[in-house]
Structure 1
């Protein structure tokens, strides 16, 4: 439903003053007790409102701009659903620039990405098999790969460790969430190392990237590029007996082309080495793959919090709107859209995933967006059910409350925003933001800083206690 912004923000401010002044009696004091008991450094901000009327029921620092972390993906979902619609599908195409005669393509073969963030190795394997089944047995020209459907970005956020897989490159050709699988195992006195692009049915070796062992304790990984190939080194002292992890890909077109070449070869179709191109050649579409509908993609994005999915979806939305779509500028395009849709506000997005350090939105703006825009596109139905925690931070097994929300976690930042149904059926909408920005800045380039896990654990306990409080008071 539409909510008058002036009424909404005035109510938020009034609720904040009541809480600070203690005029609401036990309700306000109880909330402050919960915040004190959490013992969090930094800031705590929240707002809860009645979904039907928009009436603010309780708030604390509701107009303070806070880093939303992955709850920003809820705004990205609204942005995309309103513009593209839930049935929108991304397309990946294989194009011929010349005719096919006697099984031979007299021209170039083009693997053209369409910004699909869910494209997998198995999907490429199926495209290769369909290409051969269509009668293509040889290619006289080149294998070209095109990712220009979306502007390229080497990474989503610059303050993350170089090796974390949740901070890969972004382009219009995305494979395996732009990650490569690194596996190691003991082999005699050393290690056997491997890099592949595994799916569920295919496991081709990755030739566009390699890894070497370095006799050191730290850093854990180093990264470099040479001749268009990605090179990693890994510290031998950190490997133990064996294991695996995903690493980010920075040259997604070469990676996808490399994998497609290998999969085509397995079907009997030898292709030349892939060559990225900046402009899409014209030609005939031989085979193509359509993604799942956007609504289904968003369900998985909100559940698994995949950053590259959020960036691809958000940037595709900006392209469709004719707005600036490069990573940082696309975030600003979404900021402008939200300000226009809410009739004002100061939200500032530098990306669509919430990974960037400078993104800010207030609890008031988040709740206003969820209440005014969410029901129109069925956002609650796309969100994952949220499990409450006990005072030790463990998941409660018998939860009576229905809570559908998006979580967000960064170093010394924890957020939660969504919808809840109180025991009497009253529907509430809320946002809870906690963050210690000084400690977050100090933990830049660190994957697991000292004290970070305990800080987030205490924040999540506070979120559960606040939700239980609101259900008891307003349900």
Structure 2
């Protein structure tokens, strides 16, 4: 479908455009993976040499990870715990939280739920002139992209609209607004945007710079697959300094950024977060309307629930597909929107993020008789806590695997050279999670012998994480090494569980 391609373009487009590693988004979000050019062919399963079986604690010791490492693997039919190390110690689950959010949303909203973005008129249209206000009303759609706003404008044009005598109003209050998912993160990280009832391009704006002699040209736009309209709701100024690389200032509906000249090199690009997503969407809509010959005034925000006749509307994919993409690409905005929408449906009113996360905490506790603590729906905040044993109990709870396993991402098994193992005899479907000095993985295994298992692996060095925050780096020293070691340990354990006949 056209809109699916556009959404994935927004997810992946920034990766190839980054100028240097210093501008790459930090490891809290996994964008769409791409195959490496000239990658070697997949390798067969290496022979298993006869050797004494190492204990789980010996494997952990060999991994050389500081902090806490805990895991649990259990039979999904009987609930029997087959192997466990420190499964009762609660640590930040990072993006494994999204698996909990997916189940929470599915059970509150239903798999076929669709978010709807509407365009309404609160007065009559006479000879192409709307005698009243035109309203762009968001329904919370976390996947809405620029190309879809262009489609809505085309439909307005086809309906004969040419002019509006009243205001062009924007409604973005379908869910509670969240200024930042985690206010301890750096201002410029694109995976920590504002969350609102009208979202566009995952609430990110594309910033691109090119050297022009001694100076630079800069551009800020709302690009998706087909269109790249410029925006003025975000502005960038280059300044002569070494650090910080970026600064942000809120200027009455405009995101004002500065960037250090010395950090720019010859050119590059990155996505920056949007703090006024409704106005951002309104400006893009107005730009398309002007191109289509429809005269619209400057967009203004409205807070009351919009009333009027629907001229045109766009419905998202079904919730199940939105959640499948979320679990694959680990999009924080999608997690927060679906979690907030689920809580609003359960409570029959909007709730703020912390209250909504507490609602999910209570739901999970009742659902599986566990004791987690969530501060958001994405896992971006490191104050969330859950133990590996509790995560496995949730995965093994009644009717959970039926809903969750089909939308979890397949996890490839890799050899010592990080190449995919061809025809590995077990299948793994799971959700990964990564923060600096935090690595997690949880999901399901179908073993070589056909046994169905649920597992959770959590590793966290919170002392190193707190020290890393002081560096103000997206990836502080040692974080990459820690997470690499954790992922290699995950592979060792998964291959051990997948092949073993004697668990």
Question: Partner of 1:381 in structure 2?
Answer: 406
Question: Partner of 1:453 in structure 2?
Answer: 480
Question: Partner of 1:285 in structure 2?
Answer: 310
**Aligned residue among 355, 359, 363 for 1:333:** 359
Tell me, yes or no, if the aligned pair for 1:116 and 1:172 is still in contact at 8 Å. Answer: yes
2:386 is paired with a residue of what secondary structure? coil
Question: Partner of 2:56 in structure 1?
Answer: 31
**CA-to-partner distance for each residue in 1:330-366, whole Å, 9 max, x for gaps?**
1000001111111x32201111000012101111111
Tell me, yes or no, if the aligned pair for 2:87 and 2:389 is still in contact at 8 Å. Answer: yes
Q: CA deviation at 1:389?
A: 3.2
For residues 52 and 403 of structure 2, what CA distance do their matches in structure 1 show? 32
Quick check: 1:255 aligned with 2:280? yes
Tell me, yes or no, if the aligned pair for 2:426 and 2:499 is still in contact at 8 Å. Answer: no
Tell me, yes or no, if the aligned pair for 2:172 and 2:278 is still in contact at 8 Å. Answer: yes
**CA-to-partner distance for each residue in 1:309-347, whole Å, 9 max, x for gaps?**
0000000000110166211111000001111111x3220
Q: CA deviation at 1:392?
A: 5.3
Distance 1:86 1:443, change over 3 A: same
Quick check: 1:232 aligned with 2:232? no
Question: Partner of 2:28 in structure 1?
Answer: none
For residues 33 and 265 of structure 1, what CA distance do their matches in structure 2 show? 66
**Aligned residue among 316, 322, 328 for 1:297:** 322
Question: Partner of 2:34 in structure 1?
Answer: none
Q: CA deviation at 1:290?
A: 0.3
Question: Partner of 2:245 in structure 1?
Answer: 220
2:150 is paired with a residue of what secondary structure? helix
Q: CA deviation at 1:471?
A: 2.4
2:409 is paired with a residue of what secondary structure? coil
2:193 is paired with a residue of what secondary structure? coil
**CA-to-partner distance for each residue in 1:241-297, whole Å, 9 max, x for gaps?**
111110000111111111111111111112111111111231111110000000110
**Aligned residue among 448, 472, 475 for 2:499:** 472
Question: Partner of 1:463 in structure 2?
Answer: 490
Q: CA deviation at 1:400?
A: 3.3
Question: Partner of 1:152 in structure 2?
Answer: 177
Q: CA deviation at 1:395?
A: 4.7
1:372 is paired with a residue of what secondary structure? coil
Q: CA deviation at 1:394?
A: 5.2
Question: Partner of 1:18 in structure 2?
Answer: none
For residues 256 and 447 of structure 1, what CA distance do their matches in structure 2 show? 28
**CA-to-partner distance for each residue in 1:1-20, whole Å, 9 max, x for gaps?**
xxxxxxxxxxxxxxxxxxxx
Greater Cα offset, 122-131 or 367-376:
367-376
Tell me, yes or no, if the aligned pair for 1:66 and 1:362 is still in contact at 8 Å. Answer: yes
For residues 34 and 121 of structure 1, what CA distance do their matches in structure 2 show? 48
Question: Partner of 2:115 in structure 1?
Answer: 90
For residues 301 and 501 of structure 2, what CA distance do their matches in structure 1 show? 58
Question: Partner of 1:16 in structure 2?
Answer: none
**Aligned residue among 277, 282, 290 for 1:265:** 290
Distance 1:399 1:472, change over 3 A: closer
Q: CA deviation at 1:374?
A: 5.5
For residues 27 and 383 of structure 1, what CA distance do their matches in structure 2 show? 34
Q: CA deviation at 1:473?
A: 3.1
2:71 is paired with a residue of what secondary structure? strand
For residues 157 and 101 of structure 2, what CA distance do their matches in structure 1 show? 38
**CA-to-partner distance for each residue in 1:366-389, whole Å, 9 max, x for gaps?**
111112156464311101111223
Q: CA deviation at 1:214?
A: 1.0
Tell me, yes or no, if the aligned pair for 2:425 and 2:499 is still in contact at 8 Å. Answer: no
Tell me, yes or no, if the aligned pair for 2:425 and 2:447 is still in contact at 8 Å. Answer: no
Superposed CA RMSD: 1.6
Q: Mind listing any 5+ residue stretches in structure 2 that lack a counterpart? A: 1-50
Question: Partner of 1:313 in structure 2?
Answer: 338
1:185 is paired with a residue of what secondary structure? strand
Output aligned runs, 1:334-413, within 5 Å: 334-342=360-368, 344-373=369-398, 375=400, 377-391=402-416, 393=418, 395-396=420-421, 399-413=424-438
For residues 160 and 346 of structure 1, what CA distance do their matches in structure 2 show? 26
For residues 393 and 44 of structure 1, what CA distance do their matches in structure 2 show? 22
Question: Partner of 2:299 in structure 1?
Answer: 274
For residues 164 and 422 of structure 2, what CA distance do their matches in structure 1 show? 58
- TM value normalised by structure 2: 0.87
